[in-house]
């Protein structure tokens, strides 16, 4: 018995540049009571596929041909009313952003009651069922949780509530669109386990979309690999991951940094010939003499926030007594779950936050007590890269002006600005044709490269990179990491590399610092931390780290 059968589906969008063929002859089945994964990079048509199944294509999109058969009904022939009757009770969905999926002004209980509006039952019965579902997704104090609002829950809890809501009507098919991408490694594992457990309990099928190969390998029974609007390969998870037939699948697997067992300074990208990749082992850690002065010294740094309401004043310690040294040319990987204080520490280092205790010293100068003119000089030496590649670029500026910004801010004279911009863009792996583009005309990876070009423009001594590969596809991620690795050797850069992706950090960092609740709980050479973690939290973090599909 097949829950969902998609047969030769073709979908296109009318755009100003003519018709865009988004899905080409897509066929696959979701059998009853199974989890089917769809893998592919951004732009491969995953979202279009979901929207076609849900009947939620944008106004300019249309299904040209093909069938979408769900429980014996052809969805392409249903009108809006019939489709609406299916969505919710029979097909439901969980999306990437848990905050956006819940209505912020309604209590959780009310939203869950609204989902049951079709049932002719008393309010108390409906609430009882909501509590049951919340308990199933392990929300503590479920009956009290009903009266609370979405913002009172953490990100992981919100995503679990969204899953509870999606499964509430016991649908035949759950569509999960990157449901764990926004979560930390530890939360990701918990959420996946929960999803699997509930799926078995309810007996529904799941269509699971992700670009994270480890997650797919962990969870799914069958996989379909999408590329350029086509399904290039499908089969059982075992088959696809261990014996891939299509070239694209092979490359995709190779590009996953988790599949690089050895530490390497070069990661494979989609541009490499398949099979030609050779890892480049990282050089051994240099022996530091006693005279060598660290570039950056952080001693007992503390950052506190006051959360004051009318009656009480609460002090939150974002960073709580952190100390470390960073030498020129060295990279420290700062790892930890969200809320552990990584970003706060990074921002304090660049004096974007004030510190409330301790000291941060850069080349012998106390960063937080510099006057305005010394501070300007320091800003040349420390540059930052931000989490959101496109959001960190000013939206109304062209690429050439974005890259020129540091030169203009610091009134650098005596250089040929145009030549400098094109040199930097080339260095970052972007052609001259990008100079006149606006940020929204760039892909995530291209925007990230602009960010890199801007960060190295004034030859800084330290780069603080906050999740520089978050949200990028594996192959693009490889390219960006290679670029950073090359640049730091060329320019002798020191780098603080913040991430929650452990598979990435070991290839980049010389040393790793693990942060937990505002403190550095463990710090050491990258290899040692991975080989023999000492602290409980580090062990938990490493065991939660979903290894690549090759290890199954």
Binding mask 150-189 for other proteins (x = CB under 8 A): ----------------------------------------
| Residue closer to other proteins, measured from CB, 172 or 460 | 460
Residue choice 82, 128, 316, 409 for contact with other proteins (CB under 8 A): 409
Residue choice 316, 352, 354, 534 for contact with other proteins (CB under 8 A): 352
Residue choice 375, 412, 542, 544 for contact with other proteins (CB under 8 A): 375
SS3 content of the chain, % helix, strand, coil (to 5): 40, 25, 35
| Residue closer to other proteins, measured from CB, 195 or 346 | 346
| Residue closer to other proteins, measured from CB, 131 or 404 | 404
| Residue closer to other proteins, measured from CB, 360 or 384 | 384
Closest approach, Cβ 445 to other proteins, in A, equals 17
| Residue closer to other proteins, measured from CB, 302 or 401 | 401
CB atoms within 10 A of CB 413: 7
HSE-up of residue 85 (Cα within 13 Å, Cβ side)? 6
Closest approach, Cβ 392 to other proteins, in A, equals 4
| Residue closer to other proteins, measured from CB, 214 or 406 | 406
Strand 519-525's sheet: what is its strand order?
A: 382-385, 462-466, 494-499, 331-335, 511-516, 519-525
Residue choice 363, 405, 486, 525 for contact with other proteins (CB under 8 A): 405
Measured torsion, CA atoms of residues 315, 321, 325, 326, in degrees rounded to the nearest 10: -20
DSSP string, 102-134: S-TTS-HHHHHHHHTTTS---HHHHHHHHHHHH
Closest approach, Cβ 266 to other proteins, in A, equals 28
Binding mask 383-402 for other proteins (x = CB under 8 A): xx-xxx--xxxxxxxx-xx-
Number of residues lying near other proteins (CB under 8 A): 30
| Residue closer to other proteins, measured from CB, 184 or 467 | 467
CB atoms within 10 A of CB 409: 12
- Helix, strand or coil for residue 352? coil
Query: Does 369 engage in binding with other proteins (CB under 8 A)?
Result: no
Closest approach, Cβ 449 to other proteins, in A, equals 15
3-class SS letters over 377-439: HHHHHEEEECCCCCCCCCCCCCHHHHHHHHHHHCCCCCCCHHHHHHHHHHHCCCCHHHCCCCH
Closest approach, Cβ 316 to other proteins, in A, equals 17
| Residue closer to other proteins, measured from CB, 383 or 503 | 383
Distance (Å, whole) CA 136 – CA 142: 9
Residues 41-80 that bind other proteins (CB under 8 A): 59
Closest approach, Cβ 15 to other proteins, in A, equals 10
Show the tokens assigned to 449: 């490269």
**Dihedral sign, Cα of residue 235, residue 240, residue 244, residue 247:** positive
Q: How far is CA 277 from CA 211, 282, 371, 477, in A?
A: 21, 16, 50, 16
Closest approach, Cβ 337 to other proteins, in A, equals 21
Pick from 106, 167, 98: which is nearest to 134 by CA?
167
Q: What is the DSSP letter of 517?
A: T
**Dihedral sign, Cα of residue 4, residue 191, residue 475, residue 270:** negative
**Which residues make up the interface to other proteins (CB under 8 A)?**
59, 350, 352, 375-376, 379-380, 382-384, 386-388, 391-398, 400-401, 404-406, 408-410, 454
């Amino acid at each position: 018995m097949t829950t969902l059968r998609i047969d030769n589906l073709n979908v296109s969008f009318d755009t100003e540049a003519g018709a865009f063929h988004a899905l080409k002859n897509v066929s696959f089945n979701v059998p009853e009571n199974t989890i089917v994964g769809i893998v592919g990079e951004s732009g491969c048509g995953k979202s279009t596929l979901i929207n076609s199944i849900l009947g939620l294509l944008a106004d300019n999109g249309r299904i040209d041909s093909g069938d979408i058969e769900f429980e014996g009904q052809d969805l392409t022939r249903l009108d809006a009313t019939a489709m609406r009757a299916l969505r919710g009770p029979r097909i439901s969905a969980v999306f990437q952003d848990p905050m956006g999926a819940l209505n912020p002004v309604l209590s959780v209980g009310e939203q869950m009651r609204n989902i049951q509006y079709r049932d002719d039952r008393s309010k108390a019965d409906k609430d009882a069922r909501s509590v049951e579902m919340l308990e199933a997704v392990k929300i503590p104090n479920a009956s009290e949780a009903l009266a609370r609002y979405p913002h009172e829950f953490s990100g992981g809890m919100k995503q679990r509530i969204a899953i509870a809501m999606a499964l509430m009507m016991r649908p035949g098919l759950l569509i999960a669109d990157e449901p764990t991408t926004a979560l930390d490694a530890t939360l990701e594992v918990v959420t996946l386990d929960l999803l699997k457990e509930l799926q078995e309990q309810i007996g529904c099928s799941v269509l699971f979309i992700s670009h994270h190969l480890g997650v797919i390998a962990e969870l799914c029974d069958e996989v379909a690999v999408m590329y350029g609007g086509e399904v290039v390969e499908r089969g059982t998870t075992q088959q696809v991951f261990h014996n891939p037939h299509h070239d694209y699948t092979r490359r995709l697997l190779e590009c996953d940094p988790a599949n690089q067992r050895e530490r390497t300074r070069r990661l494979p990208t989609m541009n490499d010939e398949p099979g030609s990749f050779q890892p480049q082992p990282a050089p051994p850690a240099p022996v530091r003499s006693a005279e060598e002065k660290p570039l950056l010294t952080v001693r007992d740094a503390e950052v506190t926030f006051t959360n004051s309401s009318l009656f009480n004043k609460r002090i939150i310690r974002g960073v709580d007594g952190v100390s470390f040294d960073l030498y020129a040319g060295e990279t420290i990987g700062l790892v930890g779950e969200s809320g552990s204080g990584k970003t706060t520490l990074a921002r304090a280092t660049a004096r974007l936050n004030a510190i409330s205790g301790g000291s941060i010293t850069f080349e012998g100068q106390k960063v937080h007590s510099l006057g305005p003119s010394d501070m300007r000089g320091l800003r040349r030496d420390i540059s930052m890269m931000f989490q959101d590649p496109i959001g960190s670029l000013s939206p109304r500026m062209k690429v050439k002006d974005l890259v020129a910004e540091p030169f203009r801010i610091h009134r650098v004279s005596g250089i040929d600005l145009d030549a400098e911009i094109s040199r930097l863009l080339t260095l970052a792996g972007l052609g001259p044709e990008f100079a006149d583009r606006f940020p929204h005309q760039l892909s995530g990876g291209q925007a990230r490269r602009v960010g890199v070009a801007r960060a190295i423009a004034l030859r800084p001594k330290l780069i603080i990179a906050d999740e520089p590969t978050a949200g990028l596809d594996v192959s693009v991620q490889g390219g960006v990491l290679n670029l950073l690795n090359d640049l730091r050797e060329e320019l002798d850069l020191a780098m603080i590399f913040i991430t929650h992706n452990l598979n990435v950090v070991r290839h980049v960092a010389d040393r790793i610092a693990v942060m937990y609740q505002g403190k550095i709980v463990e710090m050491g050479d990258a290899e040692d931390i991975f080989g023999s973690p000492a602290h409980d939290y580090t062990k938990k973090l490493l065991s939660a780290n979903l290894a690549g599909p090759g290890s199954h």
